[in-house]
C-alpha cells in the first residue's frame, strides 16, 4: 500500500519541480479594443507582423550563479498581429490578403531588465512597437508606440513577477494603439 502511494507522490513532486523551473514567460497582455468607426465603408486591409529584436529573450536573470534566458510563450510577431487584427476589426475594417492598405506591426524592443540585490529586486520593462502603414497609392506612415514600466520588491524577481511586468508594459502599448486614431485616419485618407 505504501509503495502505491509513494510512487505517484514522487512522480507528482518531480513534475512540479520541472514546472517551477520553466524558462518560458506566459505573455498574455490585456487587449483593449477601440470603438467602431461608423464612417468606414467596406475597407479591406492586410496585416502582418515582424520581430526586429536582435535577441528573442524577454529577460536574462542570474539564478544560482547561472545566467537564465527567459523566452516568450508565443511568437511575439503573431501575438501582436492578432492584437492588431482584433483592434482593426473592432474599428470596422475587413482583414484580407489584398487590402487597400498594408499594415505591419513591428516589435522593435520588448525586454525586462532584471536586477537583484541582497533583499530586493528591480524590474524595468521597455516596449517599443511600430505600425507601418503602406497604401497602394505609395503613401506611407510609421507610428511608434513606446512604454516603460518599473516595479521593485522584496527578495527575488520570480518568473511570475517578470511575466506580470512584461504583460503590463505590453498592455499599456496595446491600450495606446486602441486610443490612437492616426493609423485609422491614414487608412481612410489613402484607401481610395
CA distance 61 to 58: 10
Sketch the domain layout of the chain as residue ranges. Answer: 39-191
CATH of domain 39-191: 3.40.50.10610
The angle, 0 to 180 degrees and rounded to 10, between the axes of the packed helices 76-91 and 159-179 is 30
CA distance 109 to 146: 9
Please compute the mean of the pLDDT values over residues 117-137 and round it to a whole number: 94
Residue 114: which of 74, 73, 71, 159 has the closest Cα? 159
Give residue-wise pLDDT tens across range 37-66.
Answer: 988 888 999 999 999 999 999 999 988 888
Higher pLDDT, 20 or 55: 55
Q: What is the DSSP string of 85-113?
A: HHHHHHHT-EE-SS-SEEEEEEEEEEEEE
- End-to-end, the C-alpha distance of the chain in Å comes to 76
53-80: buried (b, 16+ CB within 10 Å) or exposed (e) per residue? eeeebbbebeeeeeeeebebeeebbebb
Give residue-wise pLDDT tens across range 131-177.
Answer: 999 999 999 999 999 999 999 999 889 999 999 999 999 999 999 99
Query: Do the beta carbons of residue 112 and residue 58 sit within 8 Å?
Result: yes
Amino acid at each position: 500500500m505504501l509503495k502505491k502511494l509513494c510512487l505517484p507522490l514522487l512522480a507528482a513532486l518531480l513534475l512540479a519541480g520541472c514546472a517551477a523551473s520553466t524558462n518560458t514567460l506566459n505573455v498574455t497582455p490585456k487587449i483593449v479594443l477601440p470603438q467602431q468607426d461608423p464612417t468606414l465603408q467596406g475597407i479591406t486591409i492586410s496585416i502582418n507582423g515582424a520581430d526586429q529584436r536582435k535577441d528573442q529573450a524577454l529577460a536574462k536573470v542570474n539564478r544560482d550563479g547561472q545566467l537564465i534566458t527567459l523566452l516568450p510563450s508565443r511568437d511575439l510577431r503573431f501575438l501582436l498581429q492578432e492584437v492588431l487584427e482584433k483592434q482593426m476589426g473592432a474599428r470596422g475594417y475587413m482583414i484580407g490578403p489584398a487590402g487597400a492598405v498594408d499594415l505591419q506591426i513591428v516589435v522593435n524592443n520588448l525586454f525586462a531588465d532584471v536586477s537583484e540585490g541582497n533583499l530586493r529586486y528591480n524590474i524595468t520593462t521597455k516596449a517599443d512597437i511600430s505600425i507601418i502603414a503602406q497604401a497602394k497609392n505609395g503613401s506611407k506612415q510609421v507610428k511608434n508606440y513606446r512604454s516603460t514600466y518599473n516595479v521593485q520588491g522584496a527578495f527575488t524577481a520570480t518568473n511570475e513577477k517578470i511575466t506580470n511586468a512584461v504583460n503590463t508594459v505590453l498592455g499599456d502599448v496595446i491600450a495606446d494603439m486602441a486610443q490612437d486614431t492616426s493609423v485609422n485616419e491614414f487608412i481612410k485618407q489613402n484607401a481610395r
